[in-house]
Amino acid sequence: MKAGVIGLGAMGAHMALNFDRAGVLAAVWNRTPARAQALEFSGGVLRAGTPAEAAAKSDLIVTCVSRDADVFEVARAMLPGLSAGKIVCDTSTVSRDTACELSALYKTRRADFLDCPVSGGVEGARKAALAMMVGGDAAVFGRARPLLSKIAANVVHMGPTGSGQATKAVNQIMAAGINQAVTEALAFGEAMGLDMNKVIDVVGSGAAGNWFLSHRGKTMVAGSYAPGFKVALHHKDLEIIQRMARDRSRWPLSVVANTLADYEQLMHEGHGDEDISALYRLKKENFKPGT
Ligand code: NAP
Whether 125 and 91 have beta carbons less than 8 Å apart is answered as no
**Which CATH number is correct for 166-285, 1.10.3720.10, 1.10.1040.10, 1.10.150.130, 1.10.357.10?**
1.10.1040.10
What average pLDDT does the segment 40-68 reach?
97
Average pLDDT, the chain: 96
Q: Tens of pLDDT along 77-114?
A: 999 999 999 999 999 999 999 999 999 999 999 999 99
Q: Tens of pLDDT along 153-176?
A: 999 999 999 999 999 999 999 999
Q: Tens of pLDDT along 228-275?
A: 899 999 999 999 999 999 888 999 999 999 999 999 999 999 999 999
**What residues are paired with 131 via a beta bridge?**
119, 154
Number of Cβ atoms within 10 Å of the Cβ of 83: 11
Catalytic residue at 2?
no
Nearest CA to ligand 1 atom 29: 92
Residue in 178, 176, 202, 177 with CA at minimum distance from that of residue 189? 202
The percentage of residues in the chain with a pLDDT greater than 70, rounded to a whole number, is 99
- Please state the domain extents for the chain: 3-160, 166-285
Return the pLDDT at 290: 59
Residue from 168, 230, 283, 284 carrying the catalytic annotation: 168
Query: How many Å separate Cα 289 from the centre of its chain?
Result: 37
Nearest CA to ligand 1 atom 3: 9
Fold match between domain 3-160 and domain 166-285 = no
- Which among 11, 165, 276 is the best mutation to test ligand 1's pocket, defined by most ligand atoms within 8 Å of the CB? 11
Nearest CA to ligand 1 atom 34: 93
Confidence of residue 66 (pLDDT cuts 50, 70, 90): very high
Class of 3-160 per CATH?
A: alpha beta
pTM above 0.85, yes or no: yes
- Determine the distance separating the centroid of ligand 1 and the alpha carbon of 269, expressed in angstroms: 22
- Give the type of residue at 142: G
Q: Tens of pLDDT along 177-211?
A: 999 999 999 999 999 999 999 999 999 999 999 99
User: From the alpha carbon of 93, which atom of ligand 1 is closest?
Assistant: 32
